[in-house]
Amino acid sequence: MAVAKKPAAKKPAAKPAAKKPAAKKAAPAKKPAAKKAAPATKAAPVKQAAPAKKPAAKRTPNAAFMKPMNASTTLAAVIGEKPLPRTEITKKVWDYIKKHSLQDPKNKRMINADDKLKAVFGGKKQVSMFEMTKLISNHLS
């Protein structure tokens, strides 16, 4: 019997909620009441968000990026001869560029090559940072 009384109590509560949107159209002061209904619907997705965090808790790196690559002799003159993953090679090239101030001061996306980098970049004096990664990948095996 107690179970039958609870749904009966919920039904009258739903009817006044239905009356509030009608009053909302008539008076703009009732708008906060409509906003209260929206957070109640947001409470349900919070439960769904908790299971989504489980895969994000452990992130495994892509094996292709972590595989040590051998650099050509021209690239090894810039980063060293030790086999490194692609990510580390890119970091070392950027360290070299910043150490020798090879980034164009007006357009920071462009890199001005010195003698060592000119050999890596295929003889080009200036390359964009996006083209640089493509040119570096030609020197990896």
The Cβ of residue 113 has, within 10 Å, a number of other Cβ atoms equal to: 20
What is residue 36's predicted lDDT score, i.e. its pLDDT?
A: 55
Encode burial over 12-45: b for 16+ CB neighbours within 10 A, e otherwise: eeeeeeeeeeeeeeeeeeeeeeeeeeeeeeeeee
69-137, CATH topology level? MDM2 (1.10.245)
pLDDT over 70 for what percent of the chain? 60
φ/ψ (deg, to 5) at 5: -70, -35
Q: How confident is the model at residue 60 (pLDDT cuts 50, 70, 90)?
A: confident
**Which range among 9-13, 106-110, 133-137 shows the weakest confidence by mean pLDDT?**
9-13
> Does residue 14 have a pLDDT over 60?
no
| Coarse DSSP helix, strand, coil percentages of the chain, rounded to the nearest 5 percent | 65, 10, 25
* H helices, E strands: number in the chain: 7, 2
> Does residue 101 have a pLDDT over 80?
yes
pTM: 0.55
The four Cα atoms 96, 98, 101, 103 give a dihedral, to 10 degrees, of 100
pLDDT tens profile 30-51: 555 555 555 555 555 555 555 5
Contacts of 131 (CB under 8 A, 6+ apart): none
What is residue 94's predicted lDDT score, i.e. its pLDDT?
A: 94
The Cβ of residue 92 has, within 10 Å, a number of other Cβ atoms equal to: 17
| Distance, CA of 107 to CA of 22 (rounded, Å) | 58
Which one, of 105, 55, 65, 110, lies nearest residue 89 by Cα?
A: 65
Please report, for the chain, the start and end positions of each structural domain, with discontinuous segments joined by +. 69-137
Q: Dig out the tokens for 17 from the structure.
A: 């909620």
Q: How confident is the model at residue 76 (pLDDT cuts 50, 70, 90)?
A: very high
